[in-house]
Amino acid sequence: MSTKRESIHGQWSNRWIFILAATGSAVGLGNIWKFPYITGENGGGAFVLVYLLCIAAIGIPIMMAEVLLGRRGRQSPINTMKTLAREEGRSGAWALLGWSGVIAGFLILSYYSVIAGWALAYVLNAGSGVFTNAPAAEIQNIFAALTASPGQLIFWHSLFMLMTMLVVARGVKKGLEVAIRFLMPALFVLLLIMVGYAISSGDFVRGLRFLFTPDFSKITGEGVLIAMGHAFFTLSLGMGAIMIYGSYMPQNASIAKTSIIVALADTAVALLAGMAIFPIVFANALEPGAGPGLIFQTLPIAFGSMPGGSFFGTVFFVLLVLAAWSSAISLIEPAVAWLVENKGWTRIKASAWCGFATWLMGLGTVLSFNEWSAYTLWGKNFFDLLDFLTSNIMLPLGGLFIALFAAWVMKSSSTADELKLPENGMAHTGWRFLVRFVTPVAVIIVFLNAIGVV
Ligand code: PHE
């Protein structure tokens, strides 16, 4: 049966806007802030290789599955899952998958906003010229002073949450389309400039070697889990963000092509960020495993010594904020859409309440960098735990169930119909094989491996 529903929340004008929006969701702090620091913490090349394998074998097939579910259901992930499950004659309990996504989105945004707040603070820092000719030690002090101050962190976190909820309140089309049209290309160009700096002034060869020479003795079971979790995080998979963007996708656009374009763009940005950062790390004898502060302690060194550095630094952090912004919107959109659909709230009311709850939760992350930094569980503070739980457990589990639903619950004729591929052709059969067997088995093995069972 072919279902042609319409979304009550609107639709993207054409497939390019979907690509921009999905890329806007995918490209964010995950690529520029998180990818470099977890690569640094997990020893470089081998970690990058596992991450790339996960993007190809798990990420792209699941992205296709998520977009396809979204476009077929055309509602918030919770209602989409319920509708599609009933349509295939299954239990409405599949809606739980939507719920776990809403919770994951809420938890991720709560800390994402705090980190985006750092980027906001750095727009000001870069603009004021404090990095100019500053030695590396001074630059580290600037970062330490920011994270030591709950007041400053709360200020920037509040500002970022406000920005996010403003766009969400205005609605997908009006709010997002305008914001993302020029952002992605501009970010790309700036990253190329940064890589140019790394080539001319950093230890480029050592940086490349660190990123691309796999040394498997450096990677652990937990490292593999982190690489896989990051593949989900960076592509915005496993929690319904891409599903809801899929629900706004025009009926005639190709899901396979668009998913591949989004995944490639996202990966390119992450690799460029790595190539910009590690040469600076090595040229200045900094620690690759410095943790979440890595880019804030390295890139300013480049901005401080390159010609026009204050200008480029300001533009860079503005773009980083914008990239984080377009991701943040997609983290909360599933929750807002559900409130509008099921509670009949206006978008403004739904955004305000979601924003407030997320803001409140974010205070935990703020404090984990200062007052609460001594409180740890398994060596992880509040922020680390939240990040671990969401990226490495909730998103892969969500992705696993999305794969199981798309390939085991949905009939082959339904998926072929929505993907617009011939049912028995190579592309559809290959995709179904990946989502049916390869993806679920890979996710399960990585989980078992991380807890030491295999
Ligand atoms: N993909 C975003 C990033 O890399 C984060 C994100 C995760 C957004 C999950 C939406 C859903 O920054």
Token pair in block for residue 12: 């993207």
Percent helix, percent strand, percent coil in the chain, to nearest 5: 80, 0, 20
Q: Using alpha carbons, list the distances in angstroms from residue 46 to 42, 159, 206, 225, 387.
A: 8, 38, 15, 13, 22
| DSSP string computed for 354-398 | HHHHHHHHHHHHHHHTTTTTT--BTTB-HHHHHHIIIIIIIHHHH
Between the CA of 82 and the centroid of ligand 1 the distance, in Å, is 24
Amino acid at 84: L
Place of tokens 């390159």: 306
Separation between Cα atoms, residue 369 and residue 314, nearest integer Å? 24
Separation between Cα atoms, residue 292 and residue 143, nearest integer Å? 11
Query: Does residue 234's CB lie within 6 angstroms of at least one atom of ligand 1?
Result: yes
Between the CA of 161 and the centroid of ligand 1 the distance, in Å, is 15
Separation between Cα atoms, residue 319 and residue 310, nearest integer Å? 14
Q: What is the pLDDT of residue 175?
A: 67
pLDDT tens digits, one per residue of 376-398: 999 899 999 999 999 999 999 99
Q: What is the pLDDT of residue 1?
A: 44
Q: Is 237 helix (H, G, I), strand (E, B) or coil?
A: coil
Q: Using alpha carbons, list the distances in angstroms from residue 370 to 68, 363, 374.
A: 43, 11, 8
Between the CA of 109 and the centroid of ligand 1 the distance, in Å, is 9
The closest-lying atom of ligand 1 relative to the alpha carbon of residue 33 is 12
Residue nearest atom 6 of ligand 1, based on CA coordinates: 236
Separation between Cα atoms, residue 333 and residue 351, nearest integer Å? 9
Place of tokens 């009949």: 344
Between the CA of 223 and the centroid of ligand 1 the distance, in Å, is 19
* Burial (CB count <10 Å: 0-12, 13-18, 19+), residue 242: buried
Token pair in block for residue 437: 């067997």
Q: What is the pLDDT of residue 15?
A: 85
Low-confidence ranges of the chain (pLDDT < 70): 1-3, 172, 175-176, 178-179
Residue nearest atom 11 of ligand 1, based on CA coordinates: 236
Q: Is 232 helix (H, G, I), strand (E, B) or coil?
A: helix
Between the CA of 30 and the centroid of ligand 1 the distance, in Å, is 6
Query: Does residue 30's CB lie within 6 angstroms of at least one atom of ligand 1?
Result: yes
pLDDT tens digits, one per residue of 316-359: 899 899 899 999 999 999 999 999 999 999 999 999 999 999 99
Q: What is the pLDDT of residue 450?
A: 82
Query: Does residue 28's CB lie within 6 angstroms of at least one atom of ligand 1?
Result: yes
Residue nearest atom 10 of ligand 1, based on CA coordinates: 236
Q: What is the pLDDT of residue 3?
A: 57
Which among 62, 236, 266, 402 is the best mutation to test ligand 1's pocket, defined by most ligand atoms within 8 Å of the CB? Answer: 236
Query: Does residue 106's CB lie within 6 angstroms of at least one atom of ligand 1?
Result: no
Separation between Cα atoms, residue 393 and residue 95, nearest integer Å? 19
Separation between Cα atoms, residue 115 and residue 288, nearest integer Å? 19
Model confidence, pTM? 0.94
Separation between Cα atoms, residue 51 and residue 345, nearest integer Å? 40
Architecture field, domain 15-450: Up-down Bundle (1.20)
Separation between Cα atoms, residue 10 and residue 271, nearest integer Å? 34
